[in-house]
Structure 1
Amino acid sequence: MAATTVRDMLYFYSNARAAYERFIENGSKPELARNAVALLLWLDQGRQHVMRHLPGLTKDAVGHLAHEANAVLDRLHQDSLLLPPTPLISALCQNGGGIDPGSFAFNQDLIVRGVAEILDGVGTLIFDDRLYHLYRRHQTGLLGRYPELEAPYISLPVTVPEDCRSMFITFSKGQSVERDEIFDYFRHKWGDCIVRVLLEKTTGGRTTPMYGRIIFRSEAFVSLVLNGEDRAAIFIRDREIWLRKYIPRPHNG
């Protein structure tokens, strides 16, 4: 049996790519569009077949679908266990299915890990503009056999440097939390998604840190925390913690 090629995968996920492009055309930020498509693909793994309806949706319906998907994604890092209304997603799902409210409340880790696996796996092809440009040139006959498209598809996620899967966290003065509390917060909601948490080493008589860094197991978790925003807030013991993408300091020299 011939190995599955990159071209085969691009063809198989062409509806997902089309959905991504329609979300972008409707004004979604790329990160929001990627996350929304990944969530819908996760639903399709449960034989919901949402993606097959995308080509026939109007522009307004596509906008509503993106809004519903991102409302679900926004809830995943918040304290609320209530599923936001998703009438269009439910209508598009086979047999009127969709995201079960009970499952959402108690199995958010399954949703997050499933969406993260898609972002880190086939998502690296689906959302690669250059690859799809090559693929479409090949499909129209403008490009012959191209080694990158004919290469075997390897499904193992690519490990990225820690800086790319890290978040910078800040606390209000005197409102820091313990390292283990941050671990427990995400472990409870998302499962085993954190490698380690680093907190500021205090000096000069100050006993509580003002900032720190969370290193996640994959870059997808950073994307799901922010979901298109520059920063996001979580609450631990009623203490507000702000998270943003970690940007390492440039080295002089």
Structure 2
Amino acid sequence: MPPISVEELYTFHRIDREVFFRLVITLCRNPAQSLLVMAFWLWLESIKYPKFVSKLVALSDPLINSFANEAVSTLRCLEMEDDDIPESGGGLPLTTILMQKKISLHFFRQKRFTAIVGIRCVLNNICARIFTDILQYLLGSANTRTCTSSYPSHYRPLVVPGFPHPLFGTFTIPPINFEELDLLDPRIWINMHSYYDGATDDDKTMFLTFSRGFPVTKEEVLHLFTRTYGDCIKFLNMGNGNVNGQVLFATMVLHKIEIVDEILNGKHVAKFRLDGKHIWARKYERRDYI
């Protein structure tokens, strides 16, 4: 398989690049926010809303700006730790009209962690490769902010203000020669059905707590979750017991990020009952995460 050139990569993503250019150059939107908006739209295409960006490119700049604002409201919904969303479900009227399919903030709340991982993977595997020259033009120096049709041919490491993002982490232009990329590398082409290859065990880990005075065994926990969600557990670690020997917490690594959302069902904490014993499950968060 012949190596890919940067021109081929940019040609394949011509429409995505045009929309991103209009966001950051024509509309002068924040680069970091615009990267997340593009990653969100491209992830949206991968699940159940095909050709979303292709439909955007034909719209006027003010309309694209309005769609971007709607995307930002969705990203902010993903950042919220509480369970509050509008009673109406948080309608996204423009996106609904464009795709002729109802969609709301409630939909993304139900798929919160699936969306976070998917958007993060698109951001670093796709956006970091296809928008490099535009970002270099925009951020490379203080004197390159006037509109021009040409971009510098030599890139240097970029720091995009706004990253690391508290939810989506770092944004790094990969230190790789495009000429060495294989045309079959799935990270380059957008026609993947899933971006979850980048999900870590931390992404897929749940933190479980148990009621004091009601001991829960490892076998009971395994039975509870496999009965409901099938063969979903990769690893279950029961925590240390207290002075009475009772285990009060556990960490559970799942096979798929989607199961995290199924368990939480849009909530911050899910509550289960097993033979009169209560089990609480929430998303595990590393203490040293930045």
Q: TM-score, normalised by structure 1?
A: 0.52
Does the CA-based 8 Å contact 1:48-1:98 persist in structure 2? Answer: no
Whole-Å separation in 1 of the counterparts to 2:284 and 2:14? 30
Other structure's SS at 2:79 match: coil
CA distance in 2, matches of 1:114, 1:105: 14
8 Å contact 2:78–2:109 — kept in the other structure? Answer: no
Task: Mark the CA change 1:48 to 1:99 in structure 2 (over 3 Å): closer, same or farther.
Answer: farther
CA–CA distance in structure 2, aligned partners of residues 11 and 192 of structure 1: 40
How much has 1:111 moved relative to structure 2? 1.1
Determine helix, strand or coil for the equivalent of 1:122.
Answer: helix
State how far apart, in whole Å, the 1-side matches of 2:135 and 2:28 are: 22
Tell me the alpha carbon deviations over residues 13-32 of structure 1, each in whole angstroms, 9 at most, x when there is no partner: 22111111111121310011
Following superposition of structure 1 onto structure 2, how do residues 142-221 of structure 1 map, counting pairs within 5 Å?
Answer: 148-153=177-182, 155=187, 196-198=286-288, 214-215=289-290
- For 1:139-174, what per-residue CA distance to the aligned partner results, in whole angstroms no more than 9, with x for missing partners? xxxxxxxx94533155399xxxxxxxxxxxxxxxxx
AA of the residue aligned to 2:287: V
Q: In the alignment, does 2:97 pair up with 1:91?
A: yes
1:16 aligns with 2:45: no
Inter-partner Cα distance in structure 2 for 1:56 and 1:112:
28
- AA at the equivalent of 2:92: T
1:10: how far off? 2.0
Q: Secondary structure at the match of 1:27?
A: coil
* Matching residue of 1:161: none
Shift in Å, 1:73: 0.5
RMSD over equivalenced CA pairs, Å: 3.6
SS at match of 2:38: helix
The separation in 1 between residues aligned to 2:72 and 2:56, in whole angstroms, is 16
Paired with 1:151 and 1:64, the residues of 2 have a C-alpha distance of 39
Counterpart AA for 1:90: T
Structure 2 runs not aligned, ≥5 long: 138-148, 152-175, 189-194, 196-250, 252-259, 269-281
Contact 2:91 2:104 in 1 (8 A): no
Do residues 36 (structure 1) and 37 (structure 2) align?
yes
One-letter amino acid matched to 1:27 = C
Which of 71, 74, 78 aligns to 1:72? It is 74
Spell out, residue by residue over 1:53-81, the C-alpha distance to the aligned partner (whole angstroms, 9 max, x if none): 22211121011011001011011111234
1:228 alignment counterpart? none
TM-score by length of 2: 0.46
Q: Indicate which of 111, 116, 122 corresponds to 2:115.
A: 111
Q: Which 5+ residue runs of structure 1 have no aligned equivalent?
A: 139-146, 158-182, 199-213, 216-253
Distance 2:39 2:113 in 1: 15
Query: 1:124: Cα distance to partner?
Result: 0.8
Change (3 A) 1:54 1:45: same
Residue identity matched to 1:128: T
For the residues of structure 2 that align with 1:193 and 1:9, how far apart are their CA atoms?
Answer: 37
Q: 1:55 aligns with which of 49, 54, 57?
A: 57
CA contact (8 A) 1:68 1:85 kept: no
Q: 2 CA distance for matches of 1:64 and 1:76? A: 19
Render the CA deviation track for 1:9-50: whole Å, top value 9, x for unaligned.
322222111111111121310011111111111111134211
CA 90–71 in structure 1, closer or farther in 2 if over 3 Å, else same: same
- Provide the aligned length of Structure 1 versus Structure 2: 159
**Identity over the aligned pairs, expressed in percent?**
20
Change (3 A) 1:55 1:193: farther
Query: In structure 1, how many angstroms separate the alpha carbons of the residues matched to 2:22 and 2:135?
Result: 18
Note closer, same or farther for the CA distance 1:4–1:64 as it changes in structure 2 (3 Å cut): same
Give, in angstroms, the shift of residue 90 of structure 1: 1.6
- 2:161 maps to none
Q: 1:120 to 1:62 in 2, by over 3 A?
A: same
